């Protein structure tokens, strides 16, 4: 019956790859998600045909599947879109925990008692231990990333002590790993996984908020790597294929995100942006406000407007109002474009998904490198809740934690309307120099409610 399982795994692998291809564009992303889900369902169902499945434990297997389905459906139904990054971190962490548990169970039931040509199956011991420790790093790191996104934990200041501690933990993991291969022991295995969890915590804890999208992508790659290696350990082709896909895509995304921030992955791990949420700054100048009525006139009589969405738009769930404003301005002959920074929001693609949900034409979304040259010829830039990604300190202040990070150069526009609740700094904890730019006018208030008033005023012009 094993060949039936392998055929099912082959079909599921094809659907995974096809699903990823369709998820490459917002117009087909929903279809790609369904295709991938069907692929996973096939993989689960065909696993029952595998000879190693013991049906005396069928009730336990079915109970786990039912519980997982119910919990997954519930979480997907109640999660707010602003909490999606936390959900991504949670699911990624659960994947890492699952791989670690699989490694432990397989090691205890197979690695210690089985013999290959009079000795242990060293490949199995090495691969299961490796996948397990990487899974535990991903689990603890992802849970901490989720907690930091919730605001439960704040980053600590970078110090040589933390770096030395992480180096010692990593060295300990390598030593324990070698000892485990030389002399397989369940105690060493458990200790190895505990040390992996310690490294996951101590490695992620000091990393600043602005680097969190890169960290999430990196931990996602770790989970994929762990799943793939575990697949080799237990000879499961479905895990090998799916883990490789996740690991490869997560690695590519990590590199792209780091490149977009003019960083290296090692630089993110060793010296993240903003160790603490200090709003420390020597920025001087006057903050100028603008009324809804004046903002409406300025926008309605412009020739070109660029909208910069940020996390504040997500918090207020204002993407539909942004789209309505865009359509209203276009009806008055105004050219409207969207400027999307690679790390806007709390996870990769955050703004793209929000705007796609509001049915914004994808052709109006421009990446940073495409849109930056256009700001100097733009009448008005409307910043909706963004912060760090438009902060000129990244270009002008070598002492700023943001220095060197490519930004949307909105300061080159003729006029800037900044929609924000207050003057509080962004997630990196750095005060925004753009607030004090003579061309900037602050439009304070909740983005959704303010946009509704703005739309109403433009309609009455």
- Do 311 and 345 contact (CB within 8 A), yes or no? yes
Which of the residues 379, 388, 411, 446 is marked catalytic? 388
Q: What is the sign, positive or negative, of the torsion defined by CA atoms of 143, 144, 146, 152?
A: positive
| Cα 295–Cα 363–Cα 452 angle in degrees, nearest 5 | 30
Q: Provide the Cα torsion 424, 427, 428, 434; round to 10°.
A: -50
What is the token pair recorded at 457? Answer: 């005023």
- Do 209 and 228 contact (CB within 8 A), yes or no? no
Q: 397: which DSSP letter?
A: -
Helices (H), 23-83: 29-47, 58-78
- Do 96 and 137 contact (CB within 8 A), yes or no? yes
Candidates 205, 100, 203; CA nearest to 146 is 205
Reply yes or no on whether 388 is catalytic.
Answer: yes
| Cα 323–Cα 328–Cα 332 angle in degrees, nearest 5 | 145
Q: 25: which DSSP letter?
A: S
Kind plus residue range of the DSSP H or E element containing 195? helix 186-204
* 3-state DSSP assignment of residue 349: coil
Dist. CA 391–CA 13, nearest whole Å: 43
Candidates 252, 257, 277; CA nearest to 268 is 257
- Do 451 and 325 contact (CB within 8 A), yes or no? yes
Cβ-based neighbours of 116, under 8 Å, separated by 6 or more: none
Any idea which residues carry the catalytic annotation? 388
């Amino acid at each position: 019956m094993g060949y039936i399982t392998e055929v099912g795994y082959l079909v599921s692998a094809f659907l995974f790859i096809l699903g990823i291809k369709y998820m490459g564009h917002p117009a087909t992303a929903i279809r790609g998600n369904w295709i991938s889900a069907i692929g996973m369902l096939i993989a689960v169902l065909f696993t029952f045909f595998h000879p190693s499945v013991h049906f005396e434990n069928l009730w336990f297997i079915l109970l786990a599947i039912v519980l997982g389905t119910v919990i997954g459906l519930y979480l997907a139904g109640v999660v707010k879109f602003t909490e999606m990054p936390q959900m991504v971190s949670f699911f990624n962490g659960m994947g890492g925990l699952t791989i670690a548990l699989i490694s432990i169970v397989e090691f205890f039931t197979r690695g210690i008692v089985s013999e290959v040509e009079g000795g242990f199956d060293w490949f199995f011991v090495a691969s299961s231990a490796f996948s397990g420790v990487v899974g535990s790093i991903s689990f603890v790191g992802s849970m901490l990333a989720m907690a930091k996104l919730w605001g439960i934990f704040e980053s600590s200041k970078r110090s040589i002590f933390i770096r030395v501690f992480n180096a010692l933990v990593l060295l300990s993991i390598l030593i324990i790993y070698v000892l485990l291969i030389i002399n397989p022991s369940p105690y060493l295995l458990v200790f190895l996984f505990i040390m992996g969890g310690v490294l996951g915590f101590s490695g992620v804890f000091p990393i600043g908020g602005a680097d969190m999208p890169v960290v999430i992508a990196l931990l996602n790659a770790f989970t994929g790597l762990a799943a793939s290696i575990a697949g080799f350990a237990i000879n499961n082709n479905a895990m090998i294929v799916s883990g490789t896909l996740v690991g490869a895509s997560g690695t590519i995304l990590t590199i792209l995100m780091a490149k977009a921030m003019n960083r290296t992955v090692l630089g993110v791990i060793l010296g993240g942006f903003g160790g603490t949420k200090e709003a420390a700054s020597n920025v001087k100048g006057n903050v100028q406000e603008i009324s809804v009525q004046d903002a409406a006139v300025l926008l309605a009589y412009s020739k070109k407007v660029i909208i910069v969405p940020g996390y504040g738009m997500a918090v207020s769930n204002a993407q539909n109002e942004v789209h309505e404003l865009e359509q209203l301005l276009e009806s008055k002959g105004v050219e409207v474009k969207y400027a999307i920074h690679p790390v806007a929001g709390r996870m990769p693609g955050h703004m793209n998904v929000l705007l796609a949900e509001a049915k914004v034409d994808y052709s109006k979304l421009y990446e940073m490198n495409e849109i930056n040259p256009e700001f100097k010829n733009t009448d008005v830039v409307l910043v909706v809740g963004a912060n760090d990604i438009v902060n000129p300190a990244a270009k002008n202040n070598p002492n700023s934690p943001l220095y060197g990070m490519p930004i949307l150069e909105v300061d080159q526009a003729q006029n800037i309307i900044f929609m924000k609740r207050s003057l509080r700094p962004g997630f990196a904890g750095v005060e925004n120099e753009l607030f004090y730019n003579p061309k900037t006018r602050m439009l304070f208030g909740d983005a959704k409610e303010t946009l509704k008033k703005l739309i109403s005023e433009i309609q009455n012009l």
